[in-house]
Amino acid sequence: MIENPYFSNDELKCSCCGENKFNDNTLRRLIAVREQVGPMVISSGFRCEAYNTAKGYTQTHATGQAVDVRIAGGDALRVVGMAIRAGFTGVGVSQKGDWAGRFIHLDDLTADQAPRPAMWSY
C-alpha cells in the first residue's frame, strides 16, 4: 500500500481477516478525491473472497479496486463528481434511509473486468 496521510491500512484492510490487497492505482484515485472533498470515512475497502461469499456480496471488493465511502447528501454528490474526474468507472449509490448508513461505492474496474463505466443504486 502506498504511503499517504489520509487512509490507513486499518481502514482499507479486510474486516474479517486483515488481508489488504488494496490496489495502488485505485488508492491514488481515492487520494485525489480526498484532496478535493476533505475527510471521508471508509466503510469498506479490500474484502477477501471468503468474506464476500459469506456475506453474499459480489467479488468487486476482492479486486482491491473498490471502496465504500460513508457519506450523504451534498457531500456525496461532490464525491461522485470528483471520483468521475479522478478516473473511477463504477459508482454505486446508497442514499436512502438514515444518513449514518448512506454510502457511495467507487471502483475503477476496466471493461474487461466488468461492464464499465457503470452507475447503479442499491
CB closer to Zn ion, 5 vs 55? 55
CA atoms of 118 and 109, how far apart (whole Å): 10
Residues that bind Zn ion (CB under 5 A): 14, 16-17, 48, 51
- Measured in residues, the chain has a length of 122
CB closer to Zn ion, 16 vs 118? 16
CA atoms of 83 and 36, how far apart (whole Å): 10
Q: Which three cell numbers stand for residue 83?
A: 471520483
Q: Taking the complex as a whole, how short is the minimal distance between the CB of residue 64 and Zn ion, in angstroms?
A: 12
CB closer to Zn ion, 18 vs 73? 18
Q: Taking the complex as a whole, how short is the minimal distance between the CB of residue 45 and Zn ion, in angstroms?
A: 11
